[in-house]
Amino acid sequence: MKNNFFEAVKGKLIISCQALPNEPLHSSFIMARMARAAKMAGAAGIRANSVVDIQAIQDEAGLPMIGIAKTDYPDSDVFITPTLKEMRAVAATGVEVVACQVTGQRRPHDEKLAEIVQQFRTEFPNTLLMADTDTIENALEADRLGFDMIGTTMRGYTPATQGMNIADHDFEYLKELRSQVTRPIIAEGKIDTPEKLKRCLELGCHAVVVGGAITRPLEIATRFIEAIK
């Protein structure tokens, strides 16, 4: 039986608590405290990167989690939980959802998404899978491969979608996506105001992930500095 992740986050905010090694807040201790802040504010779930951060946050917050493992491989531009190895490591933490990049690009070691998803399902039948997609085409592919939820995470971050923002034209992309995929949609990526969060839910997204606008002070401070340059 699948866990009750969908029920727990329906119509709610999931906060992404991430700081990569080159970021000023890189530290599992700090990410756990960020998750504490998220929980105190009323977040329904947490998205986190790396096994150590996920474990620190599980201990701290006890909220449903989407786990990822960002990993760079020299032979691929796919970096969000890109291979079966990272999928296994993240799932082994016990997170409710493992998210991986589904952007139609060649994967490390030329792994085939259909194959690793099938293998993952055999090994972790109770773990949900989220697809971090960039286009309708790739979202439909994730749908076909049986991903449990479709994220918009990668829109604007692939060569095919450079310069795009899901908020463009009152979230035109979200409306189109919703008319085409059958799985629940998790809006994610550049959602940086309370108004955008609200609008994504109004448009029928199952839940929304907000990250940098809440948990990346460098990113927030940069917007203030830009205003007075």
What residues make contact with its own copies under the rule CB under 8 A? 11-13, 15, 23-25, 27, 29-30, 33-34, 36-38, 40-43, 194-195, 197-198, 201, 210, 213-218, 220-228
For residue 197, the minimal CB distance to its own copies (Å) is: 5
For residue 206, the minimal CB distance to its own copies (Å) is: 13
Measure the CA–CA gap between 111 and 226, rounded to whole angstroms: 42
Residue 82 or 212 having the CB closest to its own copies: 212
Helices (H), the chain: 5-9, 28-41, 51-61, 84-91, 113-123, 136-145, 168-180, 194-202, 212-215, 217-227
For residue 11, the minimal CB distance to its own copies (Å) is: 7
| Beta bridge partner(s), residue 76 | 73
Secondary structure class of 85 (helix, strand, coil): helix
Residue 137 or 195 having the CB closest to its own copies: 195
Residue 14 or 102 having the CB closest to its own copies: 14
For residue 95, the minimal CB distance to its own copies (Å) is: 21
Q: Which residue has the tokens 């986190």?
A: 48
Are the C-beta atoms of 122 and 129 separated by less than 8 Å? no
Residue 123 or 202 having the CB closest to its own copies: 202
Q: What distances in angstroms separate CA 229 from CA 17, 218, 220, 223, one per listed residue?
A: 29, 16, 15, 10
